[in-house]
Amino acid sequence: MTPNPIQDESRKSYELPRTLAWSGGVDGTLALLDQTLLPHRVKNRVCSTAEDVWNAIRELCVRGAPAIGVAAAYGLCLGTRPFRRQSRDDFLAKTREICAYLESSRPTAVNLAWALGRVSKAAQSHPSASVGEIWDAMLAEAHELAREDMETCRRIGEVGAHLIPEDGGVLTHCNAGALATVAYGTALSLMYIAREQGRKFRVYADETRPLLQGARLTAFELSAAGIDVTVLCDGAAASLMSSGKVQLVVVGADRIASNGDTANKIGTLGLALSAKYHDIPFYVAAPRSTFDLSLPDGGAIPIEERPEAEVRGGFGVDVVAPGVRCFNPAFDVTPVELITGIVTEVVLLEPVTAKNIKQIFERGA
Amino acid sequence: MTPNPIQDESRKSYELPRTLAWSGGVDGTLALLDQTLLPHRVKNRVCSTAEDVWNAIRELCVRGAPAIGVAAAYGLCLGTRPFRRQSRDDFLAKTREICAYLESSRPTAVNLAWALGRVSKAAQSHPSASVGEIWDAMLAEAHELAREDMETCRRIGEVGAHLIPEDGGVLTHCNAGALATVAYGTALSLMYIAREQGRKFRVYADETRPLLQGARLTAFELSAAGIDVTVLCDGAAASLMSSGKVQLVVVGADRIASNGDTANKIGTLGLALSAKYHDIPFYVAAPRSTFDLSLPDGGAIPIEERPEAEVRGGFGVDVVAPGVRCFNPAFDVTPVELITGIVTEVVLLEPVTAKNIKQIFERGA
């Protein structure tokens, strides 16, 4: 079996707790850093069933498209583990059922389905193996996904780090960092690598209502890494851009359609519009697993609507008059015409076209 | 002395508490509805000194450019009242001093200086009167300002109500309503008058971080008036526009330069950019007292920066990691090229030009 790569010490320099880690072997559990408690409490949530993982994803204990993909992969291993002594057909039927269940936890991030597909495929590609061996191969694939995610994220940073302006300001939204992935992050990986390269720059982090992932998570991880970061309300971003303090906007993505239209955390579209008006380059950073080539454009991306309570009382105080509705979409879609480029782990797509997107799936990794 | 107009019952139909009211005569006090406690507590803060009013303005107990103008006018009366037995010169010197003090409470809204100017002028325009009579004239002028504000706001609504789309959606930001003025509001006055005219429409209220005036105040007053209102996070506005649910954006203003560039609550610029991209008309509603013809353009408007704590811990919970800075400008400037029109109490300016702005100060009220 592949050694568990996320027990190594690769993130030590960032002084960050791990987003997720599998502990133990066949009888192991998945520890997820409970991100709903950050920045004040650093506490793991230990999952030993698929239901545990489904709840952790749904409640945003683990979030970020790549991280929920890897978490779900481990969740599939946890969910199928009790059936290792059943017949092959029963086991594979259970695998399909648990896959569909885990996929239902959040609809927008395509990495979730992609990662579950990878683990399912590992199950099916061992026709002569025993069910126990099949399950071992599934866990090995989950470990492999975790290892790949870390490597992929680092490569995204290496491909895009040159975009980070020396002595300039970089604006980001939500958290597309180490906490959204196994390590490094997507958008924030550019910053970590630029910093390794000795570049100096300032980061502005939109707080990102309703759940404040920018204020709570991005500021936490960048400051832990010694990167200069300032938090602002989402509504202040346009004004910050007009003041000339921002030379680059870079965000993550939850799903990218085949034409380049990009779903990302609610608020991203407004940022992209402001960046366009102020002539500031606007980049998306995402692994190839974020692309959904089955969709012609962003109009086909399902957008999760989350509970009103996140807007109404996300801080323990009910701020909206009784009887007034709240609208709480978790994502929006930024049309490709507003996107300067997409940083992937293999190449920087700039400009973004359906043709060059297709090409990154044709060549080798 | 002019009867106190804001003790009438004109707002009864809206079931709203009064934004501000002077109680009593010469020895009276100013009751300000403490808007920091809304929507859950309806409590007045009683001011009997200029310091009380300065603190109430600074702490946003009373807010909204027209309302702080009227509150400051009464504050000047309260501040000068102890000097009614002094010499005329001493009294006028005190008046100037207290004027400057009250003006320092918030730098962006020009209505503050305008209203204080009106009351000061009333003091100076009675050269043969006793100091006691001068003070009476100042209080009468404050009452007159309050009466005018109510009338002005109603007329803004009448001038602009036809813009509210039948069966359509209207997006607004912050609170430019009855709670931001003596009655009716500016942007929301269009909605109140449209409703009186029997029009049906839906309002979307940006929550307006950091202090949530949209969620706390706009939703409160619109729902009290029986108008359909939905609250959304500021970052969701662009997405809402792209979904086709918004046919009009209308906001208030804190200061408008002579070319039409408009300072309003932080987040307005981003809304205007989104409206432009989605081809949705973007209107500003404001009385003439909001214009500052001494400024060539928006670059000259002073922008108040408010305490970091409003961003960091606006919900009673510290959401940002220790040591991370927060940037908290209270306003931004929307360039005139993004503004479809400005609704004033005398005319709808559309398009907005330096020339037609100048004209509204040349004709009679």
Q: What is the DSSP letter of B49?
A: S
Question: Which residue, among A233, A276, A277, A278, would best test binding to B if mutated, counting the most B CBs under 10 Å from its CB?
Answer: A233
Phi, psi of A329 (to 5 degrees): -75, 140
Q: Which residues of B touch A263 (CB under 8 A)?
A: none
Find the CATH number of the domain harbouring A141. Answer: 1.20.120.420
Q: Could you tell me if A169 and A304 lie in one domain?
A: yes
Is B320 in contact with A39 (Cβ distance < 8 A)? yes
Decide which of A114, A135, A153 is a domain's last residue. Answer: A153
Q: Could you tell me if A141 and A11 lie in one domain?
A: yes
pLDDT for residue B364: 54
Q: Which residues of B touch A216 (CB under 8 A)?
A: 319-321
SS3 label, residue A98: helix
Q: Which residues of B touch A240 (CB under 8 A)?
A: 327
Beta bridge partners of A325: B230
Q: What would the 3-class secondary structure string for A231-283 be? A: EECHHHHHHHHHCCCCCEEEECCCEEECCCCEEEECCHHHHHHHHHHCCCCEE
pLDDT digits (tens, 9 = 90+) for B46-72: 999 999 999 999 999 999 999 999 999
Is B326 in contact with A230 (Cβ distance < 8 A)? yes
- Closest-CA residue of A relative to B325 is A230
Q: Could you tell me if A218 and A288 lie in one domain?
A: yes
Q: Could you tell me if A27 and A134 lie in one domain?
A: yes
For the CA atoms of A256, A257, A263, A268, the dihedral, rounded to the nearest 10 degrees, stands at 80
The pair of structure tokens assigned to B242 is 């792209």
- Closest-CA residue of B relative to A271 is B270
| Rg, Å, chain B Cα set | 20
Q: Could you tell me if B174 and B89 lie in one domain?
A: no
The stretch A14-43 carries a mean pLDDT of 90
Question: Which residue, among A230, A242, A324, A338, would best test binding to B if mutated, counting the most B CBs under 10 Å from its CB?
Answer: A324
Q: In whole angstroms, what is the distance from residue A293 CA to residue A253 CA?
A: 15
Helix axes A88-103, A110-124, angle to 10 degrees: 170
Catalytic residue among A34, A136, A206, A254: A254
Beta strands in B100-172 (DSSP E): 169-172
Distance of residue B308 Cα from the nearest chain A Cα, in angstroms? 9
Q: In whole angstroms, what is the distance from residue A64 CA to residue A74 CA?
A: 16
Dihedral of CA A152/A158/A162/A167: which sign? positive
User: What's the complex ipTM?
Assistant: 0.92
Q: Which of B127, B65, B51, B68 is nearest to B286 (CA)?
A: B65
Q: Residues 184 to 203 of A: which have CB under 8 A from any B CB?
A: none
Question: Which residue, among B217, B228, B245, B273, would best test binding to A if mutated, counting the most A CBs under 10 Å from its CB?
Answer: B273
For residue A9, is pLDDT > 60?
no
pLDDT for residue B288: 97
pLDDT for residue B134: 96
SS3 content of chain B, % helix, strand, coil (to 5): 45, 15, 40
pLDDT for residue B37: 92
Q: How many independent structural domains does chain A possess?
A: 2
What is each CA distance from B360 to B287, B344, B356, in whole angstroms?
A: 11, 9, 7
Amino acid found at A225: A
Q: Residues 11 to 40 of B: which have CB under 8 A from any A CB?
A: 39-40
Q: Could you tell me if A264 and A119 lie in one domain?
A: no
The pair of structure tokens assigned to A234 is 């989402």
Is A320 in contact with B216 (Cβ distance < 8 A)? yes
Cβ-proximal residues to A223 (8 Å cutoff; 6+ apart), any chain: A229, B321, B323, B324
Percentage of chain A beyond pLDDT 70 is 95
Q: Whole-number mean pLDDT of chain B?
A: 93
Phi, psi of B65 (to 5 degrees): -55, -50
Cβ-proximal residues to B117 (8 Å cutoff; 6+ apart), any chain: none
Q: In whole angstroms, what is the distance from residue A32 CA to residue A54 CA?
A: 12
What is each CA distance from A215 to A28, A93, A174, A295, B311, in whole angstroms?
A: 33, 43, 8, 32, 9
Q: Could you tell me if B235 and B350 lie in one domain?
A: yes
B324 → closest Cβ in A219, A265, A333: A219
Q: How many helices and strands (H and E) does chain A possess?
A: 12, 15
pLDDT digits (tens, 9 = 90+) for A164-210: 999 999 999 999 999 999 999 999 999 999 999 999 999 999 999 99
- Closest-CA residue of B relative to A314 is B315
Q: Which residues of A touch B267 (CB under 8 A)?
A: 233-236, 238
Distance of residue B147 Cα from the nearest chain A Cα, in angstroms? 29
Give A321-324 contacts, CB < 8 A, sequence gap 24+. Answer: A321/B39, A321/B216, A321/B219, A321/B220, A321/B223, A321/B224, A323/B223, A324/B219, A324/B220, A324/B223, A324/B229, A324/B230, A324/B231
Find the CATH number of the domain harbouring B195. Answer: 3.40.50.10470
Percentage of chain A beyond pLDDT 90 is 88
Distance of residue A336 Cα from the nearest chain B Cα, in angstroms? 14
Q: Could you tell me if B116 and B195 lie in one domain?
A: no
- Closest-CA residue of B relative to A41 is B321
Q: Could you tell me if B165 and B86 lie in one domain?
A: no
Q: Could you tell me if A149 and A171 lie in one domain?
A: no
A254 flagged as catalytic: yes
pLDDT digits (tens, 9 = 90+) for A277-289: 999 999 999 999 9
B317 → closest Cβ in A236, A269, A315: A315
Band (B313; pLDDT cuts 50, 70, 90): confident
Decide which of A153, A176, A206 is a domain's last residue. Answer: A153
Buried-state track A300-331, b at ≥16 Cβ within 10 A, e below 16: ebebeebebebbbebeeeebbbeebbbbbbbb
Q: Which residues of A touch B223 (CB under 8 A)?
A: 321, 323-324
Phi, psi of B41 (to 5 degrees): -125, 130
Q: How many helices and strands (H and E) does chain B possess?
A: 12, 15
Is B230 in contact with A325 (Cβ distance < 8 A)? yes
pLDDT for residue B40: 86
Amino acid found at A62: V
Cβ-proximal residues to B27 (8 Å cutoff; 6+ apart), any chain: none
Q: Could you tell me if B109 and B79 lie in one domain?
A: yes
Q: Could you tell me if B69 and B147 lie in one domain?
A: yes
Is A235 in contact with B273 (Cβ distance < 8 A)? no
- Domain span at residue B254 reads 158-362
- Closest-CA residue of A relative to B173 is A235
Q: Whole-number mean pLDDT of chain A?
A: 93
A231 → closest Cβ in B235, B265, B311: B311
pLDDT for residue A275: 98
pLDDT for residue B11: 41
Decide which of A107, A127, A153 is a domain's last residue. Answer: A153
The pair of structure tokens assigned to A143 is 């470990």
Cβ-proximal residues to B127 (8 Å cutoff; 6+ apart), any chain: none
Catalytic residue among B52, B254, B261, B332: B254
